């Protein structure tokens, strides 16, 4: 089976700063994977590369066996760390935009989630709280029928109730044959939904194991293991 995401000896520098160094990893179809590391560890750089937004210096990155490009953008749904939605747009306009731009966008699914949250489709982004904006953006991303979902800090900066809803939405709205990569430093909040974890530190992969392996071999939770690996 072809991995949905594969990196081989991947390197990236910004001037003299090494953002990624000799990164090797594999994400199989049907997995929810935590890309876990402190701020500045290289998580966002790696996710942007997988989405075709920035290039690497050396090595190889493949999405479903292909280099990032037009073909991979059709199968990857990306949630950036910062809100990118134009604040003058209404929810309905955003639904129209996603329908026009993404052939795999499932409008009915998005409308059902918005209705469940009592989010008025005539409301503009500028009128929303941060938590509501985060929910709307996630609903749009998860309403695509993608093969790979790349979610960069989806629960950062929102209240615990919103975090719970976001995690519930991720679990309940992706194809079981698709994969989800969740980049975060909030380990305890996401551990319950993860199949596998990748620890990244200073641009290097320091651990890649299934959650079950960590619990069985180490007798620890992912959060405990993370604190041990990244202790100051």
Residue 217 inside a domain? The answer is yes
CATH number for the domain that contains residue 176? 3.40.50.300
Do the beta carbons of residue 58 and residue 11 sit within 8 Å? yes
Instruction: Look at residue 1 in the predicted model and tell me its pLDDT.
Output: 79
State how many domains the chain has: 1
Domain-embedded: residue 209 = yes
- Give the integer Cα–Cα distance in Å for 173 and 194: 15
Indicate whether 183 belongs to any domain.
yes
Instruction: Tell me what pLDDT residue 34 has.
Output: 95
pTM given for the model:
0.93
The whole-angstrom separation of Cα 191 and Cα 195 is 9
In tens, the pLDDT along 131-159 reads: 888 889 989 999 999 999 999 988 777 77
Q: Is residue 104 part of a domain?
A: no
Whether 135 is in a domain gets the answer no
Q: Which residue has the tokens 């975090």?
A: 163
pLDDT 10s digits, 39-97: 889 999 999 999 999 999 999 999 999 999 999 999 999 999 888 889 999 999 999 99
List alpha helices for 80-129, DSSP H.
91-101, 107-116
The residues with which 77 forms a beta bridge, in sequence order, are 149
* Distance, CA of 170 to CA of 42 (rounded, Å): 23
Angle separating helix axes 160-172 and 130-142, nearest 10 degrees: 10
**190 by DSSP, 3-state: which?**
helix
Residue 46 forms part of a structural domain: yes
Asked if residue 171 is part of any domain, the answer here is: yes
| Size of the chain in residues | 232
Segments forming the whole domain that contains residue 185: 5-83+147-229
Residue 105 lies in a domain: no
Phi, psi of 63 (to 5 degrees): -110, 115
The tokens 């941060």 sit on which residue?
A: 130
pLDDT tens digits, 14-42: 998 999 999 999 999 999 999 999 888 99
């Amino acid at each position: 089976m072809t991995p949905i995401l594969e990196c081989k000896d991947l390197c990236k520098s910004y001037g003299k700063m090494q953002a990624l160094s000799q990164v090797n990893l594999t994400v199989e179809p049907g997995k929810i994977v935590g890309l876990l590391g402190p701020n500045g560890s290289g998580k966002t750089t790696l996710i942007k590369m997988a989405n075709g937004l920035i290039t690497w210096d050396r090595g190889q990155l493949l999405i479903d066996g292909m280099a990032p490009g037009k073909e991979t953008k059709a199968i990857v749904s990306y949630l950036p760390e910062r809100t990118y939605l134009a604040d003058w747009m209404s929810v309905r306009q955003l639904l129209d935009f996603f329908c026009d731009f993404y052939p795999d966008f499932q409008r009915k699914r998005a409308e059902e989630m918005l209705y469940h949250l009592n989010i008025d489709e005539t409301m503009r982004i500028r009128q929303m709280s941060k938590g509501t904006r985060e929910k709307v953006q996630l609903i749009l991303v998860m309403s695509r029928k993608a093969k790979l979902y790349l979610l960069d800090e989806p629960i950062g900066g929102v209240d615990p109730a919103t975090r719970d809803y976001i995690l519930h939405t991720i679990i309940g709205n992706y194809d079981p044959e698709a994969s989800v990569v969740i980049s975060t430093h909030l380990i305890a909040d996401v551990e319950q939904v993860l199949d596998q974890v990748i620890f990244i530190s200073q641009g290097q992969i320091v651990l890649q194991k299934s959650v079950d392996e960590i619990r069985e071999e180490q007798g620890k939770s992912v959060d405990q293991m993370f604190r041990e690996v990244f202790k100051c």
